[in-house]
Amino acid sequence: AVRALVMSALFRASATGVVLATGHGAPTITAEVVGHDEDDEAAAAGGGGLWWVVQVSTAHDGFNAYRIKRRYRQFDVLDKTLRAAFQGVPDLPGKAGWLSSSDKDFLDKRKAGLSSYLRSITLDPALSQNEDVRSFLELGSAEELFVRLQEKEHFCNLAVLEKDKALEAQRQRVAALTGENGRAQHDIQALEAQIAEAARGREEAKAAADAALGLARQQVGQLEEAVLAAQAAEAEAVDTRRATAQRLEVQE
């Protein structure tokens, strides 16, 4: 009990996070899975009764060390909690269903994988100072830790759900804008078609007007020729009458 109190005192909150006291004054912590225990009662009830034994050391020489027990589910909840808050979280070995102490080869691989996971976390400056990592490695009730991590996971899931809702709202907005843009493009194309049709009508009307003007000019030319011919005929008739009158005067 005294050792547990001493080791729990090694975890103290500061303005920047958790302080792990060492003989050299520098925060140092290591954690590795050293074995496993099987909960006979849980196994007999048909549930997963496997505990992973984690040795936590707070100094390089391993003097200030203690052991805790954690289930894989607690590793999994911690991993989800960290991934919701950090990027670059190391990979946790995948879940493999119910295991027993007879699966030695797999248990050895799982132990090595979990040790590598904890080693990566404790070597990371940000992750090693995280409150959830500190709670995971503290001495104390595993049930209390599990409850805290589950609550944390619940809030993380709620945050993810809110982000998903916001993302879906953005997607719907984009879809609506895309639809509006599509309708606008359709209207623009219809207007362009109307403009093109009006331009064709204008060209056709201009061509018809030019043809009518040409015909009118031709008709005017013909009328001018007819007037000139009539004037010439009238002048000739006048000359003829004059000549006739002169001959009559001479005969008298």
Structural domain includes residue 205: no
Reported pTM: 0.46
More confident: 78 or 103: 78
- The answer to whether residue 13 scores a pLDDT higher than 60 is no
> What is the domain-level CATH number for residue 33?
3.30.1520.10
Give pLDDT, residue 108: 92
Q: What is the arithmetic mean of pLDDT over 137-142?
A: 70
Least confident of 38-42, 102-106, 169-173, 210-214: 38-42
Structural domain includes residue 210: no
Structural domain includes residue 157: no
More confident: 126 or 61: 126
For 24-80, write each residue's pLDDT tens digit. 444 478 899 999 988 655 444 444 578 999 999 876 555 678 899 999 999 999 999
More confident: 121 or 3: 121
> How many structural domains does the chain have?
1
More confident: 118 or 207: 118
- Rg, C-alpha atoms of the chain: 51
Structural domain includes residue 235: no
Q: How many CA atoms lie within 13 A of 250 on its CB side?
A: 6
Give pLDDT, residue 175: 87
- Which residues constitute the domain of residue 21? 2-140
Give pLDDT, residue 61: 54
CA–CA distances in Å: residue 103 to residues 23, 98, 214:
40, 10, 106
Identify the band that residue 204 occupies on the pLDDT scale cut at 50, 70 and 90. Answer: confident
Least confident of 28-37, 137-146, 213-222, 238-247: 137-146
Structural domain includes residue 100: yes
CA 203 to chain centre: 51
Give pLDDT, residue 4: 40
Other Cβ atoms less than 10 A from the Cβ of 56: the count is: 23
Structural domain includes residue 81: yes
Q: How many CA atoms lie within 13 A of 199 on its CB side?
A: 6
Structural domain includes residue 132: yes
Q: What is the arithmetic mean of pLDDT over 88-114?
A: 82
Q: What is the arithmetic mean of pLDDT over 222-237?
A: 86
- The answer to whether residue 232 scores a pLDDT higher than 70 is yes
Structural domain includes residue 148: no
